């Protein structure tokens, strides 16, 4: 979710109704100066608008706020805590209480298939339509971002109103690539990209050990810090994280998968990591790296766009929003 400025062209009635909301959203950009007590919670948040899962709380200007996840449409948002009644629940309570929600259906699907050391999480095609869901991982790197990925998308889908794309952001990448990050935000501000911002851990550490002891499975990993520090960094940069999480290297085990879900997050894998020779099918969750470290994956994606150029022009092949693809697959 990108924090957007107030639109002066809105009808007066609607404009007045969202003015307070937009004032609050604009203030989110100031959390860098006054963000404290950021912590993980797991509670049912209820008010007249419905029931939500509260997964984080924090303070700003001596006021308490909640990060809420909508279990039906998978969207996240920040609200003042005073607007909601909270009751503590656990992971299994939510699974039982909201078993017909999209969120729990996805969770159950993942729990049934979380044994693999690599690529657990949501890792199958999520739409039977002609096209793909594109996820771009931005892992720590000293190299420049592969902006050609976005440039080619803008060129090929120039007749589309919004181009859906997901970026998996690691904190250490953002800290070294502020200009690239701001460029992506600007494209979303201009309504050229519809970005899903995925938590990709803060440090994204990697070592020389086997996968069972590597990435977030390394013995000294502080999982809570990897999740929360990255969320705070994104929030300080004006971005509210989505409900999605991508494991560094797609490496996890059953215990780690369940731990991430107990933070209220949905792990997202891939069924088409292009640099590994995996082919994109209709509905595939495609993975490429845009951090300058995976030239072959970027080339393969650009080749895919070139191959589909006429279908794109004829609106016979599309990019699909991650959330919308999930909603259509887990009705």
- Structure token digits, residue 279: 């082919």
Q: pLDDT tens-digit profile of 168-192?
A: 999 999 999 999 999 999 999 999 9
User: Across residues 238-246, what is the average pLDDT?
Assistant: 96
Q: Is the pLDDT of residue 279 over 80?
A: yes
Q: pLDDT tens-digit profile of 198-210?
A: 999 999 999 999 9
User: Across residues 219-248, what is the average pLDDT?
Assistant: 97
Q: Which residues pair with 58 in a beta bridge?
A: 65
- Please provide residue 200's backbone torsions phi and psi, each rounded to the nearest 5 degrees: -120, 25
Q: pLDDT confidence of 26, banded at 50, 70, 90?
A: very low
CA 250, CA 37: separation in Å to the nearest integer?
A: 30
Q: 111 near 315, Cβ under 8 Å?
A: no
Q: pLDDT confidence of 23, banded at 50, 70, 90?
A: very low
Sign of CA dihedral 27, 33, 37, 39: positive
Q: Which pLDDT score is estimated for 31?
A: 56
Q: pLDDT tens-digit profile of 299-316?
A: 999 999 999 999 999 999
Q: pLDDT confidence of 82, banded at 50, 70, 90?
A: very high
Q: 283 near 326, Cβ under 8 Å?
A: no
User: Across residues 62-80, what is the average pLDDT?
Assistant: 96
Q: Where does residue 19 fall: left (phi above 0), alpha (psi -120 to 50 degrees), or beta otherwise?
A: alpha
- Please provide residue 140's backbone torsions phi and psi, each rounded to the nearest 5 degrees: -55, 135
> Among residues 153, 184, 152, which one has the least CA distance to residue 169?
184
Q: 195 near 167, Cβ under 8 Å?
A: yes
User: Across residues 265-284, what is the average pLDDT?
Assistant: 97
Q: pLDDT confidence of 318, banded at 50, 70, 90?
A: very high
Q: How far is CA 118 from CA 1, 13, 47, 300, 310, in A?
A: 28, 51, 40, 22, 35
CA 216, CA 250: separation in Å to the nearest integer?
A: 10
Q: Which pLDDT score is estimated for 331?
A: 85
């Amino acid at each position: 979710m990108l924090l957007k400025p107030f639109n002066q062209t809105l009808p007066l009635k609607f404009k007045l109704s969202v003015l307070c909301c937009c004032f609050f959203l604009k203030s989110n950009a100031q959390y860098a100066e006054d963000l404290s007590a950021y912590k993980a919670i797991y509670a049912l948040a209820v008010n007249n608008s419905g029931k939500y899962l509260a997964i984080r709380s924090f303070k700003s200007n001596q006021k308490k706020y909640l990060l809420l996840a909508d279990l039906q449409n998978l969207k996240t948002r920040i609200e003042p805590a005073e607007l909601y009644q909270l009751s503590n629940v656990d992971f299994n309570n939510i699974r039982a209480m909201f078993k017909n929600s999209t969120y729990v259906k996805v969770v159950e699907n993942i729990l049934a298939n979380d044994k693999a050391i690599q690529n657990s999480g949501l890792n199958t095609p999520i739409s039977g339509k002609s096209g793909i869901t594109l996820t771009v991982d931005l892992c720590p790197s000293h190299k420049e971002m592969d902006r050609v990925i976005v440039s080619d998308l803008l060129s090929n889908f120039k007749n589309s109103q919004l181009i859906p794309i997901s970026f998996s952001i690691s904190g250490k990448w953002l800290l070294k690539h502020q200009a690239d990050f701001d460029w992506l935000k600007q494209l979303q501000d201009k309504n050229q990209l519809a970005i899903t911002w995925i938590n990709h851990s803060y440090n994204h550490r990697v070592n020389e050990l086997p996968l069972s002891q590597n990435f977030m499975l390394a013995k000294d990993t502080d999982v809570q810090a990897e999740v929360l520090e990255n969320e705070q960094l994104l929030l300080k940069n004006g971005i509210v994280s989505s409900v999605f999480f991508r494991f560094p290297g797609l490496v996890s085990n059953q215990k780690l998968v369940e731990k991430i879900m107990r933070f209220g997050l949905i792990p997202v894998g891939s069924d088409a990591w292009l640099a590994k020779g995996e082919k994109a099918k209709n509905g595939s969750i495609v993975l490429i790296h845009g951090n300058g470290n995976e030239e072959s994956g970027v080339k393969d994606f650009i080749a895919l766009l070139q191959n589909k150029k006429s279908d794109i022009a004829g609106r016979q092949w599309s990019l699909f929003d991650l959330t919308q693809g999930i909603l259509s697959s887990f009705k």
